[in-house]
Structures are given as C-alpha cells and as structure tokens.
Amino acid sequence: MDHAELRGRFATLTTAHLADACIRAEVPVRCAPAPVRPVLPGTRLAGRVAPARHAGSVDVFLEAFHEAAPGDVLVVDNGGRVDEACVGDLVVLEARAAGLDGIVIWGLHRDTADILAIGLPVFSIGATSTGPLKLDARPEDALESATVGEWTVGRADVALGDDDGVLFVPADRVGELLTLAEGIRDTERRQAERIRAGSSLREQVRFDLFLERRRENPALTFREHLRAVGGAIEE
C-alpha cells in the first residue's frame, strides 16, 4: 500500500479502531507505552517505520533520512531514557525536509516551541533541556530495528499515531487491518447514533440474552456474545 492510500484511509480511523482490528485478526497489539504522546495534541502520523537506535550522535538520524522514503516515520530508540533529549528542532526540520510523515521517540525531545512551530508530528515521552550526555559506540544494526517499550520494530512495520498514542502493525497486513477497522468504526458509529436516538447499548447488544445464555453456559464470554450479535464495542 502506498503512503497516500495509507494516510487517506487512516484519516477516518483512530488507533483504537486499528487496535481492535488487530485483536479480531489475531495480530499482536503493539502499542507504544502510554507516556509516548504527541507533542502537539491533535497531530497524527502514518507511515512505514524508519528505525534508528540512538547512541549519542545525530549522524544516525541523518543516515536514516538518507535511506528513508517520503512518508516514512522515523522511530527513535533511546532506551526510554528520561535524563536526556535525543531529538531537537534541527532533526525535526531535517525530517520534514526529507518528506517524512513524523517522528516517534522512545525517549525525550527538546526545543518544544520550535518543534510546535515546525508542525511535523512528533511523539515522545516528554521534554527536557539537555541533549545527549555522552557518546556510546554505535551498534552495527542501528538502522535495522528500534525498540519502543516491549516491542521491536523495523522497515516491515507501519507506525500509526494519534491522540491515543502510537500503534505498530505489520506492513504486509495493513490493508486487511484497515478494512477490519473501517467495519468496526462503522458499527460503532451506528451504535452511537442509536444511543442518541434512545436505544440503549444494552438493548442493541441484547445484553438480556447474554445474561440468559451465561446462566446456561457460565463459560460464555461477552466478547463471544458480541461476535454472535454483531457488536463491536470490545474489538
């Protein structure tokens, strides 16, 4: 899937829709840890992962930009450190000039005011004033993968970000997951409209029937019941 189609389809979805689609498709739900948030609320990103493992020098980012394609998302692994920032305004400007769709940082940023003015979506744990505190040996595979929380991602993955955080999905399944997410979105919208019109969610999902069936079969889960009646609130 090219970047224009990815951006266009994700524009009408949320990462929550995609996470539910992953559950339905039995794809691991790979969310960045909750502290990874957009520097500017309301910004979104979607693109193939361009990984970079930071070791104290900006050269790894410049090389990542050199190898990236327009629409990619720089995913920076700084080990979740909170004692230094690894991305500042110049890196963000260069990312924009290279045509990237945004930056995800497993660590901190700085130059917040300048980053806000640049406008490129940046997601990070937070901000601090100091840049890198020391230069370590750069790993040979620094541009092959990046770890964000418990997940390791690379060029075979797509990063999607919004106000709920960042989700990583396999690039070779993104079309399938988007289609599932669109179906979940449409079902939830219909449910919301019916609630506003006076039909409670309990009525819509036949909650009385679920309670009756659970008495007969205590092992029945609500998720199984929802699948049987066409609900989507849990996936």
Q: With 70 as the cut, is the pLDDT of residue 53 above it?
A: yes
What pLDDT, on a 0 to 100 scale, did the predictor assign at position 172?
Answer: 98
What pLDDT, on a 0 to 100 scale, did the predictor assign at position 231?
Answer: 58
Q: With 50 as the cut, is the pLDDT of residue 95 above it?
A: yes
Element (H, E) at 92: helix 89-97
Residue with tokens 């410049």: 62
Binding-site residues for substrate sit at 88-91, 110
Binding-site residues sit at 88-91, 110-111
Average of pLDDT values for 51-63? 96
Residue whose C-alpha is closest to residue 88's, from 67, 47, 44, 58 = 58
Of the candidate ranges 30-39, 112-121, 199-208, the one whose mean pLDDT is the lowest = 199-208
User: Which CATH number does the domain 3-172 belong to among 1.10.10.10, 1.10.645.10, 3.40.50.720, 3.50.30.40?
Assistant: 3.50.30.40
Q: What is the pLDDT of residues 98-150, one digit of tens each?
A: 999 999 999 999 999 999 999 999 999 999 999 998 888 888 899 999 999 99
Under 8 Å between Cβ of 24 and 180: yes
What pLDDT, on a 0 to 100 scale, did the predictor assign at position 222?
Answer: 87
Mean of the per-residue pLDDT values of the chain = 94
Q: With 80 as the cut, is the pLDDT of residue 233 above it?
A: no
Which of the four pLDDT bands, split at 50, 70 and 90, describes residue 235? very low
- Return the structure tokens found at 210: 């679920």
The structure's pTM equals: 0.91
The percent of residues above 70 in pLDDT, for the chain, comes to 97
Say how far apart CA 29 and CA 26 lie, in whole Å: 9
Domain residue limits, the chain: 3-172, 177-229
Say how far apart CA 105 and CA 220 lie, in whole Å: 41
- Return the structure tokens found at 25: 């498709």
Average of pLDDT values for 73-91? 98
Binding-site residues for Mg(2+) sit at 111
Which of the four pLDDT bands, split at 50, 70 and 90, describes residue 232? low
Which of the four pLDDT bands, split at 50, 70 and 90, describes residue 204? confident
